[in-house]
């Protein structure tokens, strides 16, 4: 025998769920009708970046997503990007993005963590995946955007997860369809002529004899207060470092094949030395 009270309870719950979905759709429609300057989008997953909050070292994941509903930034060549990173005030170039609210997730270790969703233009995202420097730039502006919006301090020692494009579930975001007017202050031309210097650096091989296991770069950066002003790109046989604003720029090739994924950088603000430890791939 079937308990009719259980059936009626399940039917009521189903009706309540359907009513909730209808109200939710009506509410979203009303929001768009009442505010024609915005619309609701569902972005596509892109890359997932693992970092941590400072100084408590809590895990933070940044889901950098893609959508054609977000406008693209102005055209930018690789040479222009290098100049931009060396500029005293790179804020003149803006990447349109939507910064979502923090949401609590569970990582692979079943530990609680915080995740943020950042949405950028799909074509610009695809281009950034073809050039490591552009990818690092997008991660940097995403980190800085979250820091400014939510009053955070995030570590620059981040890592792009190889087998995960998103942590959690993709949720809708409400984005502006009309941009706010921007008032830009014009700076005297002579102030933009600062030329970055090539920093002192040493390259060490560990162990000193036999087959090398690690290539270690020690770069002196006097006047750099923290790692927040550093942009580092470790290639297979190349190391590119920019210290903003217009302090230092280093672009050096080396005769080793490097494991980029497992390379680690650490900046000592007391000695003002950046140490980059790069595992050497044995051929």
Structural domains of the chain, ranges and CATH numbers in brackets: 38-176 (no CATH), 201-279 (2.60.40.790)
The CA-to-CA distance between both ends of the chain, in Å, stands at 72
CA distances from 49 to 46, 72, 93, 135, 206 (A): 10, 21, 23, 11, 29
Q: Give SS3 for 111.
A: coil
How many Cβ atoms from other residues are within 10 Å of residue 104's Cβ?
9
| Confidence at residue 188, expressed as pLDDT on a 0 to 100 scale | 46
pLDDT tens digit sequence for 9-63 = 556 666 666 665 666 555 555 544 445 566 788 889 999 999 999 888 899 999 9
pLDDT digit string, tens, across residues 214-257: 999 999 999 888 888 888 888 888 888 888 776 888 888 888 88
- pLDDT, tens digit, for every residue of 138-178? 999 999 889 988 888 999 899 999 888 999 887 777 776 55
Specify the 3-state DSSP secondary structure of 51: strand
Q: What is the pLDDT of residue 252?
A: 86
Per the CB < 8 A criterion, the answer to whether 175 and 98 are in contact is: yes
How far is the C-alpha of 147 from the C-alpha of 18, rounded, in Å?
39
Q: Which pLDDT score, from 0 to 100, does residue 21 have?
A: 61
Check pLDDT > 90 for residue 125: yes
Asked whether residue 105 carries a pLDDT value surpassing 80, the answer given is: yes
**pLDDT number for residue 238:** 86
Give the contacts of 139 (CB within 8 A, at least 6 positions apart). 49, 62, 64, 158, 160
CA atoms within 13 A on the CB side of 193: 4
């Amino acid at each position: 025998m079937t308990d009719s009270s259980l059936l009626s309870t399940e039917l009521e719950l189903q009706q309540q769920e359907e009513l909730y979905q209808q109200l939710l759709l009506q509410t979203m429609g009303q929001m768009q009708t009442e505010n024609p300057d915005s619309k609701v989008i569902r972005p596509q997953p892109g890359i997932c970046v693992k970092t941590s909050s400072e100084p408590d070292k809590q895990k933070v994941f940044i889901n950098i997503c893609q959508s054609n509903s977000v406008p693209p930034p102005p055209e930018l060549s690789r040479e222009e990007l290098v100049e931009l990173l060396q500029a005293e005030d790179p804020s003149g170039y803006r990447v349109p993005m939507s910064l979502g609210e923090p949401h609590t997730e569970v990582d692979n270790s079943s530990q609680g963590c915080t995740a943020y969703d950042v949405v950028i233009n799909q074509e610009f995202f695809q281009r950034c995946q073809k050039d490591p420097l552009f990818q690092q730039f997008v991660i940097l502006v995403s980190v800085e955007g979250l820091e400014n919006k939510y009053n955070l301090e995030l570590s620059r020692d981040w890592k792009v997860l190889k087998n995960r494009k998103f942590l959690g579930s993709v949720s809708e975001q409400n984005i502006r369809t009309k941009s706010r007017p921007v008032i830009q202050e014009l700076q005297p031309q002579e102030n933009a002529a600062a030329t970055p210097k090539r920093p002192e650096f040493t390259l060490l091989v560990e162990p000193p004899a036999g087959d090398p296991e690690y290539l270690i770069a020690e770069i002196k950066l006097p006047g750099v207060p923290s790692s927040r002003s550093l942009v580092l790109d470790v290639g297979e046989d190349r190391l590119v470092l920019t210290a903003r604003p217009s302090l230092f720029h280093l672009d050096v090739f080396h005769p080793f094949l490097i494991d980029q994924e497992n390379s680690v950088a650490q900046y000592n603000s007391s000695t003002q030395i950046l140490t980059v430890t790069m595992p050497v791939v044995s051929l």
